Each structure stands twice: as structure tokens, then as C-alpha cells.
A and B are shown apart, each in its own frame.
Chain A
Amino acid sequence: MKILKLIIKNAFRHKLRTILTMLGITVAIIAFGLLRTVVTIWDSSVDATMANRLITRQAISFIFPLPVSYQEKIKNIDGVSNVTYATWFQGVYKDKNNFFTRIAVDPETFFDVYSEFIIDKEQLENFKKQRNSCVIGSDIAKQYKLKIGDQMTLEGDIYPGKWDFIVAGIYEGKNNNTDKTQMIFHFPYVNERIKVESPIRANEVGWFIVQIKDPNKSAQISAQIDELFKNSSAETKTETEKVFAQNFVASSGAIISAMNVMSFAIIGVIMLVVANTMIMSARERTREYAILKTLGFSAKHLFLLILGESLVISFVGGGIGISLIFPIVKGFEQAMPKGFFPFFFVEPITIVWAVISILIVGLIAAIFPIQKALSTKIVDGFRFVG
């Protein structure tokens, strides 16, 4: 028999109490994992941005459009290697709960600028050739069981009417955090109909994506672009894609901050629960610690016994929690409408944080019982009536 066996026997001495404490840790770690996943996924949309891309939007607000003619003017600025544009289409696909990004783009340049969207060359060519075609992310294709040649009908809201598109391509993501939930189609196709149905809105796009040769010149080029359209009817605001994404995320900042705080608050609460369990256990064993001391067990041995028990409870409960995070997050991902989060998976950093939290819970919960056990004299331990 080794000390470890005694630690495990001690940990399960009060089975119900230990199991309930472990269950508490398991639930806390799952909640922590879920909240952290949302927070990290939210933040990773900023990480997914490229340093060599700028976003040019309407200076007053993102919701106001810009003339499509700006594309050629921006392209002529020194240091700009490519310019594409996109406009928010929205609309409804089958059901209003089927939420995913639907944008009308410049078919000739969009995939050149977004090199992280990996699409077969032939599919891309077909997309460019066919005006009413679209390219969809592989997650969308999977969720709605779509394949090349299928028709997707959108019920327009910003652009009213029924819009039929043929799936010409399915793109994959270059990285884990590449959004694979977008539906991308021709702006010229949309624009053609708008010219007839609502001429005042024709030839206007949502934003430009500017690819630059040297990321170090982003500030200079941004200033040049905005200078170009100063005092025009549609002034621009240009910033790096990262800053643009950060501002976008910041609009939900309070909620994300609250989730962040809450995820660690849960760990704090469970720390108190485990500490309470350990204090009760150590108090009940005051006499036994005196026996062990009498037998020659040193302070180091008692330290290891109590700390070990606290860590066993924390890591068994936490370990079960961590192993359940993956299937639960997967379940959430499948239950959520695609596109609500562009991607939803457990980042390694979430698991690292969970393990660190479990370790801290185990350590802190053991501090008081260790201090109490070590400071109690043997003779006082024998007199103790629990």
C-alpha cells in the first residue's frame, strides 16, 4: 500500500459527499468550457483577419452604401494590389431561423483577395461565368445537404423579391477559424435587377476590401483612400481589417466581458464548494492525523495526503467535465443555426484554462485543512471530538 492508495481511500470515504462535489466540479467545468468557447470564438474572428487587408466603408455608418465606382479609383492608389467589394444581402433561405452570411460580391476579384477561402479552380471559373450562380461554404453545404448544381432560393428583404441561385462551387477554409458558413454570389446579377426595380439603389455596394502590398503602409494608404473621397457625397473611413473586426466585436463587448467574468466566477464558486468539502473531511480526521503523526508521519506526509485528496477530487470531477466539453460543444454546434457563429469548437486554450482552474481549485481548497492539520498538536488531536 502506498500513500496514493490512502489518498484515494480517503477521497471516497464519504462516497455521496465526494460524488456530489465531483459532480459540482464537472458541471462547473462544462459551464466554464462553454462560456470560454463562446468568448474565444468571438475573439478569434479578430484573429482570423489579415494584416494586408483594409476595409473601406461609408464614413458616417457601416449601413450606408458606397458607389461601386470607387473600386477603380482605390485600385489606382500606389501600394494597393487588389480591390474587391461586398454588400450585405441578408434575405431568408427556406426559414427565417436559417441564419448565415449572404453577400453579393465582385465575382472577378473576391476570391483573389480572400485567399483563405479554398475553392476548386474549375468551380471558381464556373462561378465567374454564370451570373446567377453562388459559392457556399462547406458547413452550409453539409447542413443543408447541398451539392453543385442545386438551386438555392432566397426571399429578399433588403433586396425584395425571390432570388434563385445555382450552386457553382463549395469552398473550404484554409485555417480552423476560417468562416465556412457564407453564401457568396454576383453583385452585378443583383445590381442588374435593382436597376430596374429600384434604380435609386443601383450601383451601390456595402464596403470595399483593399489588399495592400506592404502591411506597414496601412495607415498611409488608409489616409490616402479617405482623402480621395473627402468632400464627396459619400466620404469613406478606411481601417485595417483587424481594427474593423475589433470595432464590430466591441459592439458586443459588454456581453462578452460579462461571459468572461462569469466563466471565472463559476470556478470561484466551485472552489468554495471543494474547500468546504476538504475542511469537513480534514476536521473529521483530526484524530487520524494525530495517529499518523504518532506513527512517525511527518508534516510533509500530511501535506501530501490532504493536498492529494483535494487534487484527486478536483481532477476526477474536472477531468470528467473536460471530457464532456467536447461532445456538449459539438451538440451545441449542431443544434445552433449555421452561421450564428461562423465556427464553434473548443480551442486548446480553453482546455488549458480548464486544467489550470482545476489545479488552482485543488490547491486552494487544501490550504486551510493543511494549515489546520499541521498546526494541531498530537495531544490536542487526540482530545478532539468532531
Chain B
Amino acid sequence: MDSIIKVNNVFKSYWRNNLEIPVLSDLSLVVNEGEFLALMGPSGSGKTTLLNLIAGIDRPTQGEIIVAGTDIAKLNESSLAKWRAEHVGFVFQFYNLIPVLTAYENVELPLLLTKLSKAERRKHVETALSIVGLSDRMNHYPGQLSGGQEQRVAIARAIVTDPTILVADEPTGDLDKKSAAEILTLMERLNKEFKKTIVMVTHDPHAAEKASRQLHLEKGELVGV
């Protein structure tokens, strides 16, 4: 199986009040195409930071991150934004839908950056919403949906552009058990049925069990690889 993500000797640190706080130290990781990887670890272990680096929404202090053949650490801001639009689908813990847009319009958002026609966009949005089982809620606003439904809309938004990788930061962290189970089943389906490469950060061991591989981070280092 080909590798789709290569994290090579990455260091990441933040500065707070002139004090350098190391988060990731000399971290290396390979994720294969079609893999469902769960990143686990205690709070402050650096798992979200690693996810943000892989998704190209943060930059490493040192090292290289190669996703789908591109060293994203070397891209400038506008190239990185374009790269994210083409290659990454992001699912957040708190859904992060735009409240003034309907489910349909939220899912359509990433497609506005493409050259697709209105009819083509409609087709893509309807497909994505049918995959997550929300075809009948497309004209609802986020405030009119349950937490589980909101997260499914967020997943539809993440997959609508058919991205290379899907990254999810605690996707079930804000949901009840039933909704969490639905979301995990959906992600499992995306991985198995649609061959999506997924990197998921989670605290929940039950959620991690759905992944094909689990990695643990502690103090910025992978343990028990």
C-alpha cells in the first residue's frame, strides 16, 4: 500500500511570554492510503497539533510534512489555502457550521472555490448529504438540527470535494453515545466503502477501536508504535 502522509522529524513549539513551549519533538509518522488512523493521548500530548500540521492549518517549527507528494511546510499561505481546498476535509469537535447558512449551503461552501457549475455543485452536495443520511434536512439551518445531525452535515462538507485525506478532531467529543456511534459508523463506512484515508484524534477508546490503527502520543512523542 502506498503512503499518503509522511511526517519526517517534525518539531513544533509555541511561544508564550517569550517562553518556548515544545509540543512535538522529532516526530516521524507514515500513513498509508486508505488507512483509518486514530491518534490518542492525554490532553496536551500534541495530537491536535499533529493533526493541524497534517491538515496544513499550522506549520512545523522544523521538519517536513509530505501529503500526497507535496511538502506542505514549504507552501506559501495562498498555495497552502488552495492545497487545503483540494486535499483536506476537516471535521471539528464542535461541528463549526456557519449558522446563517442552511445545511445545503454549508456543504456547498468548499465547492464555491472550484470551477463547478451550479448544477454540478448541486449534484455533489446532494450526493454528500445522501451519504450522511441528511437529504431531507438540506434546507434546515444548523440551529434546527441536533448535534449528531450537525456533525453529519460537517462530515458532508468535509467529503463534498472528494479530498485526499479526511482529518477529524474529536468528532464525537460533543455528542451523546447514540449520535457518537452513528458518526463513527459513518466514518468507518467512508473508510471502507469510499476508501477515504482518515486521521482521527480522539480520547475515546471505543471510537479508536473503529480505526484500523491506533497511535498514542505522550509529551509530543509517539509511544508504542
Contact = CB atoms under 8 A, between A and B. Distances in A.
A77 interface: no
A1 B105 contact: yes
A150 B82 CA distance: 81
A292 B92 CA distance: 13
A287 interface: yes
Contact of A299 (B78, B83, B99, B112): B78
Contacts of A288: 96, 98
A379 interface: yes
Interface string B73-91: 0000110011111100010
A296 B113 contact: yes
A295 B77 contact: no
A375 to B, nearest CB: 11
B30 interface: no
Interface in B70-129: 77-78, 81-86, 90, 92, 96, 98-101, 105, 108-110, 112-113
Bin chain B's interface residue count.
Answer: 20 to 34
Contacts, number: 64
Contacts of A298: 77-78, 81-82
A294 interface: yes
Contact of B85 (A287, A296, A300, A382): A296
A10 interface: yes
B55 interface: yes
B77 A10 contact: no
Contacts of B84: 294-296
Contacts of B57: 293-294, 378-379
Contact of B86 (A6, A296, A300): A296
B26 interface: no
B9 interface: no
Contact of B110 (A5, A295, A300): A295
B101 A9 contact: yes
A280 to B, nearest CB: 16
Contact of A9 (B78, B100, B108): B100
A1 B78 contact: no
Interface string A1-38: 11101100110010000000000000000000000000
Given A1-B108, A296-B81, A298-B78, 19 more contacts: A1-B112, A3-B112, A13-B99, A288-B96, A291-B92, A294-B55, A294-B90, A295-B84, A295-B85, A295-B109, A295-B110, A296-B82, A296-B84, A296-B85, A296-B86, A296-B110, A298-B81, A301-B113, A378-B58
Interface of A: 1-3, 5-6, 9-10, 13, 287-288, 291-301, 377-379, 382
10 contacts: A1-B112, A5-B105, A9-B101, A288-B96, A293-B81, A294-B55, A294-B84, A295-B85, A295-B109, A295-B157
